[in-house]
Structure 1
Amino acid sequence: RGASAMQFGIFSIGDIATDPTTGNAPSEKERIKAMVAIALKTEELGFDVFATGEHHNVPFVPSSPTTLLGYIAAKTQKLLLSTSTTLITTNDPVKIAEDYAMLQHLADGRVDLMMGRGNTGPVYPWFGKDIRDGLQLAIENYALLRRLWREDVVNWEGKFRTKLQSFTSTPRPLDGVPPFVWHGSIRTPEIAEQAAYYGDGFFANNIFWPASHTKRLVTLYRQRFEHYGHGSADQAIVGLGGQTFIRKNSQDAIREFRPFFDNSDIYGRGPSLEETMEHTPLSVGSPQQVIDRTMRFREDFGDYQRQLFNIDGLGIPAEMALEQIELLGEHVIPVLRKEFDSKRPPHVPEAPTHASLMLKSGQMSGVHAEAAE
């Protein structure tokens, strides 16, 4: 596969839910194995990225993203392994620095991650933190994480963890290049500001909310990215989420998806499926409808670098989730790749990879540079 300017992938939050059409719910083992199967199918069908959430509460299974991604790394060749949240608030930044550098080495650089605060209040005290410090924790912990990856010896003192004296995080990042970081947010301008300040990526989850809401955050990030001198606003690195359910014709898609929607803890008892599709990025229909809906993201938010789809939540059984990946991979992604690539102006950067970050840091030999082209 030739390098595409845009990355397409699947993200899973790893929820366990009952299939309303059968009354069955998977065991924890079945759900974990299903996430692995989804990742392998993602690579098989030519997607670029698989991302897992991080949760420490029922009904979710992915409490240990690096274990899951390390296992997937061993079974894949090209797939970029990412997180759809790494909890920068309740994890120790030292442990994040070590865990993801280790994963980088094992996966030959096929790793990046998305920082998030998480949306579950009770998690904070479980890890000795206070949710009222959430934003401050996100800012302080990430500032430390960056230093741990970029400086061989760190002396550091802050508000929320023990100070560090002459500390070296091991292993060091692969090739001296830390994993690329996206900052994920659904509603917080301070996180868009943080991403812009560092010139990192900004991931707007773009599910549940109208485009006008997400556009405000993305626009803020782009303006501040330019303000901090990282490039023009349209060169900022943006990722978007999306949720989709596809069948060959739209009536079948709606009919099949409706029970999952109606019985969902997230969507159920709220606006109808039709209203939700009208006012949020939820896309249920034929391949062409999903293509059209996703192309609208470009109109709403500008050229961007990463599109992740959620296809496996709400109690959708594993086999059905795998069918979704096949339909996306065969009928949707090839068209989107072509469309997005043809419309992208030359000065808008491609999605970052380990190879492109090495080139940027000037550490690549001529041979490697040619291979990366």
Structure 2
Amino acid sequence: MPVQLGVFTVSDVTPDPTNGVIPSEHQRLMNIVAVAEKAEEIGLDVFALGEHHNPPFVSSSPTTTLGYIAARTSRIILSTATTLITTNDPVKIAEDYSMLQHLSGGRVDLMMGRGNTGPVYPWFGRDIREGINLALENYDLLHRLWREDVVDWQGKFRTPLNGFTSIPRPLDDIPPFVWHGSIRSPQIAEQAAYYGDGFFHNNIFWPIDHTQRMIELYRTRFEHYGHGPASHAIVGLGGQFFMRRNSQDAVREFRPYFDNAPVYGHGPSMEEFTSGTPLTVGSPQQVLERTLGFRQKVGDYQRQLFLIDHAGLPIKTVLEQMDLLGEILPDLRAGLLEGRPADIPDAPTHASLLAASGAQPDDSYRFETGDNVTGLASRTA
């Protein structure tokens, strides 16, 4: 698939401003599952779930939810719309997402990020002033844990590792593909470029010119580090919309949700916000044209995700939005491919990464049984 199209949720539990109804945590989680199933039904490629550890959000354990969704779907890629690389232990990330990778048959990747909630740092014993350094050091360790069977490691922010093997090993020895997500931090764009990973700019709150500058930085540094020409860098974009068949109906219906949304309510008017950011409130044709226009600023890219269920939108409305997205999906795919140079890489998948590695699936177990007292095991010859 040259360009992956999908939706993401940040899992907010927000009152519906039109009637005051607040879903329970249980209902919100079940609604998230319904959105993921609907995403597969309408032919989307990706469903992504955020990670938060504070009200008003509910997604504190994305792998649990994505594992459940994996069992209820068969095709769609399951991702995160941020895995907190700063406050999670990279050892646990390595284990959890390898496990999910196996159980989903390789249908998993993840987006690393620092998150947008300051108090989460002390809750997990971290200092927010070290956010960038945590992101850099933790990912360096995670990258090694997925590529080296036995790791010796020492850093600043966690205890050393001596002869450590992360289990299970990645499926087919192919680590889950990683996107580094950032809105404003050039250090994260640099990190993505250094490793040759993907860079995801979740540009739902920012002018496209800012997005363009961040992606140009990533592309330039991707080429600098020898991963290929800048045009081959792996780029993802965020976006959001609210559609009705008649644009006036979309504006009228979405306005109370916009005006009261925790993230941008009581600020700029909806008209100001839509003119300055990628938010599109209007007809399906307007959403299609606006989205296809992103290429003019950032070049050909590999993943487009839309924020789909937030600000208190009822699940019935969210699923209606997805039906409308499904209707324009063929034209969206065709438009993103029109004029796309043949050498632009497709969006990475487990199958494409395995094929590129030249490796064959191997189900053999290559370790000694180890010592259940010390936990140490050595690689067999």
Q: TM over 0.5, yes or no?
A: yes
Cα offsets for 1:308-345 (capped at 9, x unmatched): 00110000011111111111012x22111011122210
TM-score by length of 2: 0.94
Letter in structure 1 aligned against 2:337: D
1:224 paired residue number: 221
State the identity as a percent: 68
Letter in structure 2 aligned against 1:351: A
- Write the distance in 2 (CA, Å) between the matches of 1:361 and 1:40: 31
1:345 paired residue number: 341
* Pairwise CA distance, 1:227: 0.6
Alignment of structure 1 residues 153-302 onto 2, 5 Å: 153-302=150-299
Alignment of structure 1 residues 104-119 onto 2, 5 Å: 104-119=101-116
2:312 paired residue number: 315
Alignment of structure 1 residues 83-98 onto 2, 5 Å: 83-98=80-95
Letter in structure 2 aligned against 1:314: A
- Give the match's secondary structure for 2:33: helix
Q: 356, 359, 362: which one pairs with 2:358?
A: 362
- Write the distance in 2 (CA, Å) between the matches of 1:343 and 1:208: 28
- Give the match's secondary structure for 2:112: strand
2:376 paired residue number: none
Residues 1:70 and 2:103 are matched in the alignment: no
- Write the distance in 1 (CA, Å) between the matches of 2:300 and 2:54: 36
- Write the distance in 2 (CA, Å) between the matches of 1:300 and 1:255: 30
Residues 1:59 and 2:68 are matched in the alignment: no
Cα offsets for 1:245-282 (capped at 9, x unmatched): 11111000000000000111222121110111100000
2:28 paired residue number: 31
- Write the distance in 1 (CA, Å) between the matches of 2:259 and 2:197: 37
* Pairwise CA distance, 1:191: 0.2
Structure 1 stretch displaced more, 274-283 or 337-346: 337-346
Residues 1:334 and 2:368 are matched in the alignment: no
Structure 1: segments with no counterpart, 5+ residues: 366-373
- Write the distance in 2 (CA, Å) between the matches of 1:241 and 1:364: 34
Alignment size in residue pairs: 361
- Write the distance in 2 (CA, Å) between the matches of 1:269 and 1:100: 38
Q: 79, 83, 93: which one pairs with 1:82?
A: 79
- Give the match's secondary structure for 2:16: coil
Q: Say if 2:172 and 2:360, in contact at 8 Å, map to a contact too.
A: no
Letter in structure 1 aligned against 2:343: H
Larger radius of gyration: 2
Residues 1:47 and 2:44 are matched in the alignment: yes
Measured on the aligned residues, the alpha-carbon RMSD in Å equals 0.7
- Give the match's secondary structure for 2:110: strand
- Write the distance in 1 (CA, Å) between the matches of 2:226 and 2:192: 13
Cα offsets for 1:347-370 (capped at 9, x unmatched): 1000000001001111148xxxxx
- Write the distance in 1 (CA, Å) between the matches of 2:357 and 2:121: 36
- Give the match's secondary structure for 2:15: coil
TM-score by length of 1: 0.96
Letter in structure 1 aligned against 2:93: I
Letter in structure 2 aligned against 1:345: P
Q: Say if 2:215 and 2:298, in contact at 8 Å, map to a contact too.
A: yes
- Give the match's secondary structure for 1:357: helix
- Write the distance in 2 (CA, Å) between the matches of 1:64 and 1:336: 32
- Write the distance in 1 (CA, Å) between the matches of 2:58 and 2:339: 39
